[in-house]
Amino acid sequence: MVEETLSSLPGYALRRAANAMTAELASRLAKHDVRIVDATVLLLIATKPGATASSIGRTLDIQRANMVPLLKRLEDAGMIGREPIDGKSQGLVLTEEGKARFPAIRRTLEAFEQDLLARVPAEHREHLLPALNALWK
């Protein structure tokens, strides 16, 4: 009865669903030794080589200050490199090792998204993405 009260609340269900799916994805990505945010940043760098830390932070709503340890982690792992654009900006690129390792990470991301959608009953499936995007975009 208490549980039913909670699961009738979309805000509560939203948080629980996000927590469950985040834990699931984090677990799958751990096999590649990357975090969710790492994989997302790698996806952006792969899609747009030469992007700056600031631009990536703006796209993902990550504070500039929090990009520093994140990028250091990826750099220490040998997956990304920095190429000076001018005296103040740096373009981020995948290293050879990054290019070698990223496809498996991308496949993990894509498999996760497919499996997530597969868990949603068919009659609700096409409504999920537009409903969610209306809540933050």
Contacting positions for DNA (CB under 7 A): 19, 23, 26, 35-37, 52-55, 61-68, 71, 86-90
Residue 30 touches a second copy, criterion: CB under 8 A = no
Residue 132 touches a second copy, criterion: CB under 8 A = yes
Rg of the chain (C-alpha set): 18
Residue 68 touches a second copy, criterion: CB under 8 A = no
Residue for token digits 């990028």?
71
Distance CA 40, CA 49 (A): 14
Residue for token digits 């537009």?
130
* Binding at 86: pick from a second copy, DNA, none (beta carbon under 5-8 Å per type): DNA
Distance CA 39, CA 28 (A): 11
* Binding at 4: pick from DNA, a second copy, none (beta carbon under 5-8 Å per type): none
